[in-house]
Amino acid sequence: MSWQPYAARPDSTVTDTLLQWEGVGDANHAARTLLAWLPPSYASEPERHYPVLYFHDGQNVFDAATSYSGEWGADETLTQLAAEGIEAIAVGIPNGGERRFHEYSAAPNPKLPDTLDAGGADDYIAFLVDTVKPLADGHFRTLPGSKSTVVIGSSMGGLVSLHALITHPDVFGHAGVMSPAFWTAPVDSFTRVQTSPTPTGRIWLDIGGQEGPDEPELMRAYWQDAHTMRDLLLDKGMGERLRFVANPQGTHHESAWRERLPGALQFLLGGE
């Protein structure tokens, strides 16, 4: 097996060079098709090495044809950023379907329904570190160090991004934490950050004011928890290495994350 050209569909929305590696899994994760997007200069600058972005919910990152809720448009955004001199390889790791919550959740919460099996985040991060990342670093011209490695996701993907940064700072140097669902494990989320060393890289943290408009209590939890995490990270000395964006009209949807993605990637890749 190896990286192969992406199997585009007639209604695919992919731009530039996207590759896929089928059947990637481990003892704890069902096989799935990894995606890797290469920046515009990759073929023409053979001596150049690139930072890498690792996106959760990979089926929603590049192609509307494979998405179950709209796409992030990461390929279009990165193409635009390339014109500004910001280039990176982007790897999309599809979630495990009905196992998604388990994979992205670090700790059980007795207040959640029994149907939501939690606690698989450490195994999932091990899958990224031991299986996924070597397939990128071993086959592409990456900058493999933590200072050039970003992990990014939304909702539960935002939680597991922060968890990866906190628990594996030697691997992941920066994190994009978009619309994080801290309410699913508030004690674990905040205690872990409080008791861990301050991250030395950058964190993009954002939230919308309409993250669950049909459930006012949940909507308030999203908004308030994100602001509480902002304050905690600032108290720990993140300073300008934290970028916090709160949009009162922002929804819990790929269209909102797509809108905020350019700013997030500019900050995480360039520090601006």
Task: Please report which confidence band the pLDDT of residue 244 belongs to, taking 50, 70 and 90 as the band edges.
Answer: very high
Residue 152, pLDDT > 90, answer: yes
Task: Please report which confidence band the pLDDT of residue 9 belongs to, taking 50, 70 and 90 as the band edges.
Answer: very high
Considering the entire predicted model, what is its pTM? 0.97
As a CATH number, domain 4-270 is: 3.40.50.1820
Mean pLDDT of the region 37-62: 97
Alpha-carbon distance values, 160 to 79, 84, 151, 157, 243 (Å): 26, 29, 9, 5, 18
Rounded distance between C-alpha atoms, residue 192 and residue 162, angstroms = 10
Tens digit of pLDDT for each residue in 103-139? Answer: 999 987 777 777 678 889 999 999 999 999 999 999 9
- Strand 52-55 vs strand 89-92: parallel, antiparallel, or unpaired? parallel
Rounded distance between C-alpha atoms, residue 53 and residue 91, angstroms = 6
DSSP 142: B
Mean pLDDT of the region 244-260: 97
Tens digit of pLDDT for each residue in 195-233? Answer: 999 999 999 999 999 998 789 999 999 999 999 999 999
- Quote the tokens at residue 75: 């390929």
Mean pLDDT of the region 188-194: 94
Tens digit of pLDDT for each residue in 83-106? Answer: 999 999 999 999 999 999 999 999
Q: pLDDT value at position 247? A: 97
Mean pLDDT of the region 58-75: 95
Contact yes or no for 193/233 (Cβ under 8 A): yes
Q: pLDDT value at position 271? A: 65
* Residue boundaries of the structural domains of the chain: 4-270
Q: pLDDT value at position 186? A: 86
Residue 158 three-state SS: helix
pLDDT above 70 coverage of the chain, percent: 99
Residue scoring higher pLDDT (264 or 111): 264
Question: What is the residue type of 242?
Answer: L
Rounded distance between C-alpha atoms, residue 237 and residue 40, angstroms = 36
Q: pLDDT value at position 226? A: 98
Q: pLDDT value at position 113? A: 76
Q: pLDDT value at position 109? A: 77
Residue scoring higher pLDDT (118 or 178): 178
Q: pLDDT value at position 115? A: 65
Mean pLDDT of the region 45-63: 97
Rounded distance between C-alpha atoms, residue 54 and residue 154, angstroms = 12
Alpha-carbon distance values, 118 to 102, 121, 124, 218, 219 (Å): 4, 8, 12, 19, 21
